[in-house]
Amino acid sequence: MTKPILALAALAFAGAAQAQGYGPRAFQLVPEGSNILTAYGLGLSGNQSFQPGQVLQGSDIDVTLGIVQYTRPFNFLNGQQAALVVALPYGRIDASVDTRLPGAPRVSVKQSGLFDPQVALVLGLVGSPAMKMPDYAMWKPGFALGVMSNVYVPIGSYSSSRAINTGSNRWAVQFGLPMSLNFGRSLLTPDHGTFELLPAVTFYGNNNDPFGSAGSTGQRPLFTVESHLTRNLNKMAWVSLDTLYSNGGASVSDGIRADDRQESFSIGGTLNLSFSPTFSVKASYGGVLARNDNGPDGDMWRLMASYVF
């Protein structure tokens, strides 16, 4: 039997997660032994860069990305499914940045290059059994809970002479608890739907070669809650209502914390089309609905194509 295409553990990026999160059905089960190759384009317009939690107030930033991602599910020790994900982003930043520095309050930056790659590990804890076909097609899902970590590796293009970069020059790691409540007879039937929740926290290392006069910059942890309500329309299509709440991420300069805690609430939508048992396309659009004075603003789009082999 051929492998069905689903949401295919399509871990997106935390940088993008400030705008739209990982996306709906990102942590859903796939048949054991699957390999998933995902290619997608992503665009951000607003006051935030692609790096997680990096908001530059008073700035106008456009980010355009192309990403290649590989996902490999495997059987965890307790018989639950796990997945390893590696993502490599490359793209362009076109920005007018408010530096808030004397003599050069605003600068224009145009840069293309490698963004920080990400390596993620997802482990199923409850309701995520590793299954081969045809057991997978007959399994009736219920509540599922897992744990995830996502590491941002600081090897993207970076120079302290630029006010904004494609690379961040700092480590970051996100920990989360992806959970979902599934409705319907199975993962493959037209009546399948989900309610998904992902509380997470991102921790940041220091940038010891920052732009400006500071010797070192950092950031307080950023807390996020992502949610999705999804529903199959038929065997080919499903839709989702997506939300993301974020709070925290105050900046630190030479050990001194600034009064710039971020808070925002974003909303968006997703349409997924499965064109064959092994190929699907997912389109998302969203934007910030409410925020405090220091929070992210703007909108985003994302177009993903996934292939199972």
SS3 of 74, please? strand
- Residue 104 pLDDT: 67
Using the predicted structure, report yes or no on whether residue 10 has a pLDDT greater than 70: no
Q: Do the domain assignments include residue 273?
A: yes
- Residue 86 pLDDT: 96
- Check residue 26 and report its DSSP letter: T
- Cα separations in angstroms, 41 against 35, 58, 65, 67, 142: 20, 26, 6, 6, 32
Q: Do the domain assignments include residue 267?
A: yes
pLDDT tens for residues 97-130? 888 777 667 889 899 999 999 999 999 999 988 8
Q: Report the distance separating Cα 69 and Cα 11, nearest Å.
A: 8
pLDDT tens for residues 155-174? 999 999 998 999 999 999 99
Q: Do the domain assignments include residue 40?
A: yes
SS3 of 136, please? helix
pLDDT tens for residues 178-192? 999 999 887 777 888
Contact 191, 233 (CB under 8 A): no
Tokens of 192: 């399948």
Q: Do the domain assignments include residue 8?
A: no
SS3 of 14, please? helix
- Residue 20 pLDDT: 65
Q: Do the domain assignments include residue 208?
A: yes
pLDDT tens for residues 253-299? 999 999 999 999 999 999 999 998 889 999 999 999 999 999 999 99
- If pLDDT is split at 50, 70 and 90, which confidence band does 31 have? confident
β-bridge mates for residue 232, sequence order: 238
SS3 of 49, please? coil
- Check residue 293 and report its DSSP letter: T
- Residues ≥6 apart with Cβ < 8 Å to 162: 109, 111, 211
| Segment 194-198 mean pLDDT | 97
| Segment 23-41 mean pLDDT | 89
Total count of domains within the chain: 1
Strands 118-126 and 172-176, sheet pairing = unpaired
Q: Do the domain assignments include residue 222?
A: yes
Q: Report the distance separating Cα 92 and Cα 76, nearest Å.
A: 38
The per-residue pLDDT of the chain, averaged, comes to 88
Q: Do the domain assignments include residue 5?
A: no
- Residue 9 pLDDT: 39
- Residues ≥6 apart with Cβ < 8 Å to 77: none
- Residues ≥6 apart with Cβ < 8 Å to 275: 236, 281
Residue numbers of the domain that contains 239: 14-308
- Residue 89 pLDDT: 95
CATH classification of the domain holding 207 = 2.40.128.130
- If pLDDT is split at 50, 70 and 90, which confidence band does 226 have? very high
Q: Do the domain assignments include residue 6?
A: no
Is the torsion defined by CA of 273, 117, 214, 101 positive or negative?
A: negative
Q: Report the distance separating Cα 120 and Cα 151, nearest Å.
A: 6
Using the predicted structure, report yes or no on whether residue 14 has a pLDDT greater than 50: no
